[in-house]
Amino acid sequence: MKLKILPVLLLSLVYTGSSQAQDITSQLYETYDTYRETTLDKRRIKHHQLQPLLRSLKATPGFQVNQVGSSIEGRPLSLISIGTGETDVFLWSQMHGNEPTATQSIFDICNFLKSTDFQMEKKAILDNLTVHFLPMLNPDGAERFQRRNLLGVDINRDAVRLQSPESRTLKRVRDSLDADFGFNLHDQSTYYNAERTEKPATISYLAPAYNYEKDVNGQRGDAMKIIVFMNNIIQKYAPGQVGRYNDDFEPRAFGDNIQKWGTSTILIESGGFADDVEKQEIRKLNYVSILSAIYTIAKGNYKDIPLADYEKIPENDRKLFDLKIVNATYPLLGKNYVLDIGMNRLEVDKEGNNDFWYSSRIIDQGDLSTYYGYETFDASAYTIKAGRAAPTLLSDPGQLTEKKVMELLRQGYTYVRSEGIPSDWLDFQLPIHLISKKYELPDFTIEVGVNPTFILEENGVNRYAVINGFLIDLESGSGTFRNAIIYR
């Protein structure tokens, strides 16, 4: 019998090949809001927000919550455990401080386990498994919403040297549990797509290699089968939006080493989903698919899944833009050229790292026919022209209204000068850039690295404006918009 240094009791559920199990998966999806942890509703979650949730779980029969380590700044690292089974399943999240989607899902799952619902399925899990969650491995990074820890180390490249206390904690917990299955939970860039498709890689998977030869032993094979199982679930709710990471061996990475140490390891990366800036739909998909995977481990029915199906999952690619404009006419030095333009809305954290504003950039231009966009606009009938600064100097930007801004945009003005811009304003919520009285606009150019702001003209009429990478229809005023920029 395996010695359990860190005892435990835990978790989740659902989906086999049978119609009944599929119904359970559907029920998980449909009832999700019942268990969603509402205090964690934004991506930039902090360590202190988890503490009342951990205290509540510690007081709940069946759960154990133990401190298993500390971060460099002294924040405690907690392990949540539940279940009495012989098979240990270990899930760890937020190894990178700015990758919190699965952390939220873990507390959704714990809420589910605290409920009195799905008794038969939960009994199967808790009798057969002991499940362990380490929900936030890098709390110092989470405090700053940054990938690395306070030492500046990427914890996922510290599995050999173990320079960081967070790394040593992860290794010690894995070894003490001698976990049978491990779920390595991350976020990836929203600009990944499923290979050769316009669909974002909403969820990406990997069964990490444990050597340079990429051999498949029993443990890695089991991880591949579980990934196939999870892929089938995600396809129901985000069809075509699953990718598979390249499995080149990385000798410093935790996933690769934990696979090598004998734990069947499944890497899950939460990517992008249209109109889901805070990744709340992706959080829900994590909840459903992870619970379902745990249930199939408890039942053992993943063993019959064909291993070859793993290779059928398309590989990850990185060919998505937030906005892609195609076939636009661009006048340059007296001649007209046709350009595709790909632009991304890059997040700039506000003080305290609790919120952000966008400072967009042109990422690529030219023939972008092999790239895709969350939003794609065919500008075949349109000519790009520079936006101008409105001639009137405002005494107060509060004089602007949405109606006035739309009138200015229709006249080709994409900037407005103002005095009295509050010093604590970082961005502007109306779709026109604010500039100070003395600010001089640079010469207009369409160039990689510049902020995408311009007018699209058709037969001398201004039809669309691109403001900070957001496309606005000047006739209807429609378009997704978050913020413009302030230039002082």
- Tens-digit pLDDT profile for residues 270-290: 999 999 999 999 999 999 999
- What's the confidence (pLDDT) of residue 25? 86
In the predicted structure, residue 103 carries a pLDDT above the cut 70: yes
3-state class (DSSP) for residue 258: helix
Mean residue pLDDT across the chain: 94
Per-residue pLDDT tens over the stretch 194-246: 999 999 999 999 999 999 999 999 999 999 999 999 999 999 999 999 999 99
Name the pLDDT band for 24 (thresholds 50, 70, 90): confident
- What's the confidence (pLDDT) of residue 376? 98
Q: Point out the least confidently predicted range of 23-32, 375-384, 435-444.
A: 23-32
Which residue do the tokens 């509703």 mark?
Answer: 41
Residues of the chain above pLDDT 70, percent: 95
pLDDT, average across residues 57-67 = 98
Tell me how far apart the alpha carbons of residues 155 and 145 are, in angstroms, rounded to a whole number: 15
19-317 CATH: 3.40.630.10
Residues of the chain above pLDDT 90, percent: 94
Q: Residue 314 has which token pair?
A: 């398309």
Domain limits, the chain: 19-317, 321-487
Tell me how far apart the alpha carbons of residues 333 and 100 are, in angstroms, rounded to a whole number: 48
pLDDT, average across residues 7-12 = 31
- What's the confidence (pLDDT) of residue 22? 53
Per-residue pLDDT tens over the stretch 328-377: 999 999 999 999 999 999 999 999 999 999 999 999 999 999 999 999 99
- E strands, 2-120, are 64-70, 76-83, 87-93
CA-wise closest residue to 183 among 96, 79, 125, 266: 266
- What's the confidence (pLDDT) of residue 264? 98
Name the pLDDT band for 23 (thresholds 50, 70, 90): low
In the predicted structure, residue 13 carries a pLDDT above the cut 60: no
- What's the confidence (pLDDT) of residue 10? 30
- How many helices (H) and strands (E) would you count in the chain? 11, 23
In the predicted structure, residue 21 carries a pLDDT above the cut 70: no
pTM above 0.75, yes or no: yes
- What's the confidence (pLDDT) of residue 48? 98
pLDDT, average across residues 86-114 = 98
**209 CB contacts (<8 Å, ≥6 apart)?**
215, 220, 247, 248, 249, 256, 259
